[in-house]
Amino acid sequence: MVLVIGGVFQGKRSFIEQMYHAKLKKTQEFTVFEDNEIIIFQNCHMYNGNLMERIALKKDKKVVCTTTVVGNAIVPIKKEERFFRDVVGMNNKILVKEATSVYRIWNGISERIK
């Protein structure tokens, strides 16, 4: 699995479109793009990467996931928002561990970090 991480509107979608010649939706919702060779999961920071990997392995396709980094800002006041931030952070750690390569996108610039 290839993981592409970054903040909101930092260029993750554009990076994937260029790298894999795919046309993705502009959305903040969880979406799936699929063609003959690849499955791209957008906004998967709330989902388990292992589940997505199993889905793709059944179809013998390469998996690419995007996830949003939410822990680099001010700590939320509301308990529910802190919980959301923590869950996203924990899920991102799982995704990074399972990924064969990880790209961080910041202001439209990509950096391979794994």
The tens-digit pLDDT sequence of the chain (114 residues) is 899 999 888 999 899 889 888 877 676 666 777 777 888 888 777 665 566 666 666 667 788 888 888 877 788 899 998 888 888 888 888 888 888 999 999 999 999 999
H, E, C per residue of 20-79: HCCCCCCCCCCEEEECCCEEEEECCCCCCHHHHHHHHHHHCCEEEEEEECCCCCCCCCCH
**Domains present along the chain, CATH in parentheses:** 2-112 (3.40.50.300)
- The Cα 3–Cα 89 span in angstroms is 14
4 with 66: CB under 8 angstroms? Answer: yes
CB atoms within 10 A of CB 3: 25
